[in-house]
Amino acid sequence: MIIRNSSDLVRAYFAYGPPKVAAWVDFLPEDFVIRILTNHFKIEFAVIFTNRNTGYHIYTGRSSYVEIPISNVEILLKHSHPMGTPHPSKADHDWLVLAQSIGSPQKQSVILPHRRERVSFRISTPFLT
């Protein structure tokens, strides 16, 4: 199956299940695609862009967590919160701090809480402890 666009992506995920680690696509998955996948599988997904590389990785998480690579070239564009928490968690905040401490240019990222508006967060954003 060739994944050329968002509908191919959703079809592939529904047919084969999400990949164990991450899927690579050459287009930016829209918010609604990540929301559909989160709603269907009830797990977190994170969209990562790697500087100097083409395409995007969609990392597969579980119901309460997602694993994000540690590197100064990985940009966490967005990730979903299947529980609907509209705030960054302590781990979200910690990841941003860690990324910046190793030289990542990333200043903020986006959360897609289930059934709520997208939320962007920075290091200074209050987080849930």
Partner 1 sequence: MNIQKEILENINTRYVLLNKKNNVGYHIIDKLRKTIVMIDDPYINVDAIVNKMLELKVIIYNTIDELPNAIELPIENKNATEEFRIFIKKIFGVNGLETGSIVTALTHKQINREEKFKMEKHIEHYAFNVLYPGEGLNLYSNIESDTASIVVIKGINNLPSVDAKLFNW
Q: Is 20 in the site for partner 1 (CB under 8 A)?
A: yes
Cβ 123 to partner 1, closest distance in Å? 12
What is d(CA 4, CA 8) in angstroms, rounded to the nearest whole number?
6
Among 32, 51, 62, 107, binds partner 1 (CB under 8 A): 62
- What is the C-alpha separation between 102 and 60, in angstroms, rounded? 24
What is the distance between the alpha carbons of residues 90 and 128, in angstroms, rounded to a whole number?
Answer: 6
Give the residues across from 59 on adjacent strands: 22, 46
Closest CA to 30 of 52, 10, 13, 12: 10
Minimum separation from the CB atom of position 91 to partner 1 (A): 4
Residue 12 found at the interface with partner 1 (CB under 8 A): yes
Q: Which one, of 19, 50, 52, lies nearest residue 37 by Cα?
A: 19
Pairwise CA distance, residues 3 & 22, whole Å: 14
Under rule CB under 8 A, residue 91 binds partner 1? yes
Give the interface segment with partner 1, choosing from 31-39, 41-49, 115-123 (CB under 8 A).
Answer: 41-49
By the rule CB under 8 A, 121 interacts with partner 1? no
Question: For binding to partner 1 (CB under 8 A), which residues are involved?
Answer: 1-4, 12, 15-24, 26, 41-42, 44, 46, 53-55, 57, 59, 61-71, 79, 81, 83, 85, 89-92, 94-95, 97-98, 101-102, 128
